Each structure stands twice: as structure tokens, then as C-alpha cells.
Structure 1
Amino acid sequence: MSDTTALVTGFQDSGTYIHDDYTPAAIGFLPAELLLEIFAHCVANQPISPLTLRKVSWLWQKLIDTSPYLWQTVALADMNPDVLSEQQALLWRQKCKPLKFDVELDLEDPDHILPLLSPLLSSIDRWRTFRLSGKRTDEISVDQLEITPEALTHLHIFLHDYEQDDFDDDEPRISISSTSPDQTISFGLSVWVSKIPPPGINPPLRFVHVSIAEDAQIGLHTQPKYILEFLTSCPELESFYLSGWPHDSAVLRPLPVVNLPNLISLHLKSTCYARALLSSLNTPRLQNLLLSHLNVDFQLPSETPEEGDSEDEAGDFSQSPWSDQATGMGLRRLIKRCHPPIRILEMDFCDMRTKDFHYVFDRLHLLQDFHIVASDMSDRVIAMLRPVNEVNGVRVRLPRLQKLRLINCQQLSGKAITEAIAARVKWTDVVSPAYTLSEVIISGCEGVSPLDRQALSNELGPRLRT
């Protein structure tokens, strides 16, 4: 059985013809050219009609199968249970070669966009137009973009509550655009949906960059369970960005552990689910970790106690103790699971407990750039960067650290910063000059006086930046 035959029988159980070797007399004597014109009218009104017409006779099957222009409209609908998206997409793509084709989606539920489109994304270079109909209408002239499947690298998912639609009705719910105005080598697909697409999208999505943005603070929120399940459909993912809104909903469980072997960059912003997400990812190649605006001043839902959940023995001050613990515990689980080779760690309005900083600093041996903003970290934390005397000699935590940026860290004293950094560079400049500090930025830290800055400048010279 040929691939084409297999695809056709996927739609209809029987391969028998309505009339085996002849057609009704009036039509049977029509020339092929006129039959094809009739077929074209049928297809214009019902794009899926080639499947029915080709069953009438051997002659009709031959005419339809050798006329690519009859297969130039791939029409998919979420309300038609008899149409299997992947099978239909493969059949139409094959039959219309070498011509380009139009993609038409008739959706009662816009949340079905991605599952229906996924079989066609690998041939986006052959799309002429994309049309969305149903509750919403949109049209994109795809052929004008000159896009290739390899260039469709970014997926942006915006969670939007259609029941509270408060922006211009002309705003699109799906778009394809260049990721940069001045180039056409990378494109992004943006979709507005009310919930995260379900797991098991087939075929898997080949995007390497995915972002998910929750709606406004009073709008739609998602759950880490749904995010993680969706990420299983993105096996080639290299970067993931989540922008949420702080809310204290309980976490739905169980949570899957998601393997993302190619993930290089992870950015979590304004979410209370950092612990759940970080604890559920296996990212053995993660190099860039950005955690921003994770601090909250309210208590988060309780978690099953794990090693490290006990009270921080240091007892240091914090304005956000609950989120500090959540972030620290999530990072502990991530490091314990896969030992990611993190080289850049940025924490912007994001904090941890002193014991978590100790755990992390002892294990991120490849970290080169540490940037922290608005942290309540204490002098105990900055002192961890000093050389440590041990039985076997002297060592430093974060042995490859080259860039250190401390911004608006109000609990740090100038003395502690100066002593820790000065002691570190005196040792690393001699013992490991290739990995000594090359850039230090200290800004907005009220505990740092002009005298402290001068003392640091004497030690660092031009390496101390403003």
C-alpha cells in the first residue's frame, strides 16, 4: 500500500468506488478538461471534496491525483471529528506538490490553533496564505514573508481571556513576524489563547525559543503542571521565558519531570511557581539562568518538606522570606537533579536564604557572571566569596567568577564587600589569573561609603565600574 493510499484510507474505511469502471452517462462522456473544471468548483466550495470525488471511478481518481491545483487548500476544523489533522495535512502537502497551498482553520475554540497547525509547520515555506475563521477571523500572506521551516524558531504564547476582551477587535489572535525588523533569518509565531496547549501535540513542535505570558493580574493564570506538560512537546527547546503575575493559587499535582536536553537559557519572571518549575526540569546544558521579580511579601502555599526546608540558621533579615525559600529550594532541586553548567546567574528582585546561597555557591563551579538586584543578602553571603582555608589548602567558591554586579543591595555593608572582594582578587590574581574578577559593579548599595569605594578602587583599579 502506497503512502497516499494509506493516508486516504485514514479518512474513509472503504476503498470501493461508487461506480467501478464507468460514470453516469451524462458525465461519463465529458472531456477531462471539463471534468477538472467541475472538480475545481467543487473544491472551491468544499476543499475536502477531492477525497470523495476520487472514489467515483478510476478515471476520476487518476484525474484528481494528477492535478495538484485541486489540493491547494488545506482546510482544518476543530468541530469536525472525522478530519484527522495530521493525516489530512500530510496527504494535501503531498498531492499538491510542487505547488504552494493555502491553510484554512475554522475554529470554534481558538485554543486549538497549535494542535491543528503543528503538522503543517514543517512545510511553511510552501504556504501561500493562512486564514483563520470561526469566532475570530485573521489572514496572513505567508508567501510574502519568504519564510523557511528552519527560520521559524520562536513561539510566543499569550494567555488571554476572550470573555473579557477589552482591546481592539482588529488586533490579531495569530501572527507571524520576523524576530528583528532588519533581518529575515528568524521568525516567530505568536498566538493568543485562553489556556496552555495540551500535551502530546503531534508531530512535536520544533521551536527552539518559547515564551509564555500570562494575562493581567486579574486575568487568566496557568499552572506549572500545564506549562511542564506543554514543554514535553518542544524537544528541541533552547530557551524558555515565562512572564507571569504573582498569585497564591495552590499548585496542581503531580508534576512531571521534563527533560530538555538542549535548553541553554531559562528566564522566570513574576511568578510564584519558581519552586515548582525549577524542581521539575532536567536541563543538563543550562548555561543562563535569569530569575526576576520573584520576591513577594505574602505566604505561599505550603510544600511537602524536603531536605533544606528547615529554618535558615543564619536568621538574616528578609522582606520576602516565603519566596526566598521557594526560589532557593527550587534551585537546590535543579542543581541536585542535573548539575547544570550555569555560567550566568541573574537575580533581579529575586532572593534566597543565606543557607541557599551557600548551597548554590558551593556547586556552581562554572559560574562566570553573577548579577543580583535589590537583594536582602547579608554580609554573611558576600563573605562566602572570600578564599576558604581548608585541610587540603585554600579554595574559592565560584572559582570561575569574572563578573560581579551588586545593585541596590541595602543589607550589605561597605566593609564586608571591600574585605571579601579584596581578599578574593589578591588570591585569584596570583593563583588563577585567567578566572579572577575582571569587572565589578557596585551601585545603589547604601552601606557602601566613598571611602569603601576608594578602598575597592585601590585593589581593583579599572576593574571597578560605576
Structure 2
Amino acid sequence: MDPTSLNLQPYSSDWHNMDLQAHQQAVDLIDIEIAGLMRTVRQLQFRKGKHEDQIKYFRGLTTLARKLPAELLACIFEECVRDGWTRTPLTASHVCPEWRIAARIPTVWSHVYVNCDAKDPCGRARFWIEKAQGSLLRVTIDVANDASRLPEIMEILSARAAQWQTFSVKSILTSHARSVLTLCNPLAPQLRELEKSIVEEFNESNLPLDGDAYEVEVNNRFLHAPHFRRLRIRRNILPSPGSFPSSVTDLSIILTQGAIPTMSSVDRALQLLAGLPALQRLSILLPYQQERVFTPSVDATRLVELPDLRTLVLVGSPDMFRILPYLATPSLSHLHLRSSLDPLSYTYEELSSNITRFIERAAPPIELLELHDIDLSPAGFTACFVASPHLKELRLHESDIPDSVIREVGASCPLLERLDLRWCGQVTGRALVELVQGRSKDSDTCYSGAHSTDSSVPGRINIVTVINCAFVKEEDILDLSRVTQCRLIMAADDYCSEYPSVLFKY
């Protein structure tokens, strides 16, 4: 519209008002359009949400857990049970159809855990055994306070004794553990391992060696178990001599520490071991930060022969290692010695002497030697290495081994392949570099042809682990890495990453 026809003057207030109204109308129209678009967006978002829900649903149907074969799922469930989650089969069977199928596999139910203090332990035992069908059973009985239903429970379990592969009894009182073993069916042809854990405390120094009021004998309980070879004991006193069958090849004893200060006897330990000539693995262990006195043997000439022993693990305070000089182990290949206490700031002469005398006298073909928080004198180190010409792996933790002894390792242990040093405060990086480089040159000379059949020529050191050794510098690490594999950090499954892992590792 021409403003002159309305007698409006340019740039008058009426002219501005008309412009304002026009723009306001345009804004209102745009708002209406935006509202429509927002409504469309919300509708699209709603439709998108429905599709996303369907995507989550179908992704749930195609997860790895559903793709895995039932047999592999069953293996995972069994690992959960071994880690202590005893209700895994029951819980897994409520998750999804695929898991229910896996939970029907009998081996998933083969770990039979019976808590005598729980509600209806007999019903649980019967239910688990029925689900396990004919698979080999790993039976665990936990008796804390209520032992009134033990006869009924053992009757249910003993009916399947032919399927027992392992049997474990955990008890507070010795009498309850004895009752369980007394009620066991001796016809257990598949039994391979027995574990016995008792909380009740005794003072060993006041008990006779042949006393039976506190002992739970295993010797006469499984006479018809031809495969029974492994025994695990956890209590605060050493077992009495003759309480185990002589056929045992793998024995682990964890000496727990309670409120009663307990002393143990080297003679008692030697009498126990003398009745187990078939031993191939032996572990005697104290929990971390626990100390125990082992009274010396009254017979300095005593010697216990263990001709088949291949692995020996001792974890304890210095007195425990008084056992070593009285053992003859001509087949020993793996020796693990650990202190249960924090490392001493000095060399404990008796400890050093006991270890040195053991290795020198027995002259075993040791291939792996581990000294963890145990320090020897330089002369003790040298004597051990000279007596260990077959050594392939050396592990030292918190040891003040000097450079001169490192050089002795190179001369006395020509087969050494792995060297593991941690928190060793005296050894220098230059000594390690010279050792590894020298062995590398000798090995190259050996394989060049002239001496290829000479077994006395030292071989290469394939792996060197150096962790927190103060005098090993960065340039030393670089020099080592040029001739061998050099490791500077602990692995996830490292042998010293967690103390309890040593208990049943070997």
C-alpha cells in the first residue's frame, strides 16, 4: 500500500508501527512453524527410542554369553565355583535359556558344598548330587557349630563315594573333623586329594607325639583309594607322625597362628616326613607376618631321605629352616624359600648356614632356586651356586648379593637361562651387563662350530628381570636389552605379586 494514499508522511510513527506489526506477524508464523517442526522432532525421537530399545534387546540376544557353546559356559561356571561362589549353578540357571542349557551339564554341579549350619543341608546335598549325575565330585563339608545332621549328610555323600575326586572338610573343632572322616566311605576309587582345615588351637609343646585326642588320622580311612596322592592340611600344629598314608606324593601344611603361642619341633617334622618316602612335592607354610619357634633336633646326625622329592616350598620365620640340614633330596629340582617376616637388615648366620649345608650335603640337581626376603652371606651364596651346576633360573628378592657373587653365578652355573633380581640393594648394572654379554659371546663361540658339543660352555641368559635395584641405571638396562630380553615390571600373574598365591601354587 502506498503510504501517500493514506496521507502518511515518510518516517512518521505510523509508518514504523506498520513495519513492527508486519515483523511481529512474521515471527508468529515462524513460531507456529517451529512448534510444528518440534512436534515432528519429538515424534521422530519417540520412534528412534523404540528402535533403540529393539536394538538393545536384539544385541542382548546376540551377546558373547549367548554365542558361546554350552560346554564353554559350563567351564566358566565351574571356575566361578572354584573361586568360592558355590551357588553359581543355581544362579546361572535363572538368567536366560542359553545359560539354563549350560547349567544342565552335570559337571557344573560337580562341586558339592555342604554347610552344616545352613538351612536343610541334607536337601542341598541330595539336590546337588542328583544334578551332578555320574560326574566326578569335589566335595566340601563346612562344620562350624551344628554337627547334629552329620550322620545323615555323610550317608548321602558316601552313597556316591565312588565318584569322589577331592574331599575337603573345614571344621572349627577337631572332634567334628574326626567325625566326618570316620563316617566317610573308604571305598573311594577315584579320590585324589584330601583337604583338612581345623580352627581349634592346641599348644604343640604340651602334646605327646603319639597322642590321638587332638589328631585326625587319615592313614586308615582311605585304604581303597589307589589314586589318593595329594593332601592339604591347615591348622596350628604339625600333624603327628604316621597319621598319613605313605603313598602321599604331594603334601601342603599351612601352620595357622592363633591366640595360643605355639612352638613346633624339628624332630616332630622329621618324624612325619620319614613316614612319607614317596613325596614329590612338599610345602610347609606360615601366614604372612607370622613367626613360630622350631626347637632344634636333639639328634644332629639324623637324616631323612626323600628320594623322589622334586619341589620343596618353605615359607616361614628363620627357625623353620632348621629342618633343611636333616633332609636328603637327591632329585630336588625346584627350591622355593620364603620368609614370612619382613626382610632383616642383616644376614642371619644360622639361616644362611642351614640353607648352605642343605644344598651342599644333598647336592640336588636344582634347576630353580628362589630366595624371597632371605639373605645369605657372600660365602653362602657362592657355596650354593657352586653346588648347583644345573641351575637354570635364579630368583632373588630383597637380597644384598654383591657383584663378586654375580660373577660367581656366571662361572658356577653354566646352564643359567633366567635371572630375576628384585629390591637387591648392592648389585650394580655393570655386573649384570658383563655377565649377560659374556655369556652371549661364549654362546656364540659355542654355536660357531668348534665347541658345539661342549656342554661346559655357558649358554645364553634369555631373560633378565630387574625391579627396584638401586644401582642398575638406565644405560645398564639399554645395554642389557641389546643382548637379551629385559623385564622391568611385574606381570599380572607374577610369582611375588600377592603373598597368598604361593600357598597352593606349586
TM-score where L is the length of structure 2: 0.50
Q: Which residue of 1 aligns with 2:139?
A: none
Select which of 192, 197, 206 maps to 1:152: 192
User: Conserved in 2, the CA contact under 8 Å of 1:156 and 1:212?
Assistant: no
Match of 2:385 in 1: 361
CA distance in 1, matches of 2:174, 2:437: 66
Distance in 1 (alpha carbons) for counterparts of 2:328 and 2:376: 21
Residue pairs, 1:49-448, within 5 angstroms: 125=162, 135-136=175-176, 139=180, 147-148=188-189, 151-153=191-193, 160-161=200-201, 189-191=231-233, 195-201=237-243, 204-216=245-257, 219=260, 220-244=262-286, 245-248=290-293, 250-254=295-299, 256-293=302-339, 319-322=345-348, 325-386=349-410, 396-431=411-446, 435-448=459-472
Q: Secondary structure at the match of 1:442?
A: strand
Q: Percent identity?
A: 21
2:146 corresponding residue in structure 1 = none
In structure 2, the gaps of 5 or more residues are 1-160, 204-214, 219-226, 447-454, 489-506
Corresponding residue pairs, total:
289
Q: 1:50-98: per-residue Cα shift (whole Å, max 9, x none)?
A: xxxxxxxxxxxxxxxxxxxxxxxxxxxxxxxxxxxxxxxxxxxxxxxxx
Structure 2 CA distance for aligned equivalents of residues 296 and 253 of structure 1: 29
User: Are the aligned partners of 2:393 and 2:417 in contact in 1 as well (CA < 8 Å)?
Assistant: yes
Cα distance change on mapping 1:147 and 1:242 into 2, 3 Å: same
Partner of 1:464: 486
CA spacing shift, 1:399–1:217, aligned 2, 3 Å = farther
Q: Cα distance 1:126–1:297, how it changes in 2: closer, same or farther (>3 A)?
A: closer
Deviation (angstroms), 1:204: 4.2
1:450 to 474, 479, 496: 474
Deviations 1:196-242 (A, max 9, x none): 333345x8432111112222275434222111111112121111111
TM-score (norm. length: structure 1): 0.54
Cα distance in 1 for partners of 2:444, 2:195 equals 44
Q: Secondary structure at the match of 1:285?
A: coil
Residue deviations 1:136-159 (CA, integer Å, cap 9, x gap): 36547867x99536x435666768
1:135–1:366 CA distance, 2 compared to 1 (3 A): closer
Higher helix share: 2
Structure 1 gaps of 5+ residues are 1-123, 164-172, 177-184, 299-318, 387-395
Give the equivalent residue in structure 1 for 2:150: none
Change (3 A) 1:267 1:191: closer
Q: Alpha-carbon deviation of 1:436?
A: 1.9
Distance 1:422 1:434, change over 3 A: closer
* CA distance in structure 2 between the partners assigned to 1:382 and 1:278 by the alignment: 24
Q: CA offsets, 1:123-145, max 9 Å, x none?
A: x7599x999999436547867x9
Secondary structure at the aligned position of 1:346 is classed as strand
Alignment-mate amino acid for residue 464 of structure 1? C
Counterpart residue identity of residue 232, structure 1 = A
**One-letter identity of the residue aligned with 2:419:** L
Separation in 1 of the partners of 2:377 and 2:184? 50
Q: Per-residue displacement from partner, 1:108-134 (whole Å, max 9, x unpaired)?
A: xxxxxxxxxxxxxxxx7599x999999
The answer on whether the counterparts of 1:175 and 1:190 sit within 8 Å (CA) in structure 2 is no
> Equivalents in 2 of 1:442, 1:409: separation in Å?
9
Deviation at 1:411, TM superposition (A): 1.8
Partners of 2:474 and 2:384 lie apart in 1 by 31
The structure-2 alpha-carbon separation of the partners of 1:135 and 1:362, relative to structure 1 and needing over 3 Å to count, comes to closer
Q: Which has the larger radius of gyration?
A: 2
Does the 8 A contact of 1:160 with 1:215 survive in 2?
no
SS in 1 for 2:479: helix
RMSD: 3.8
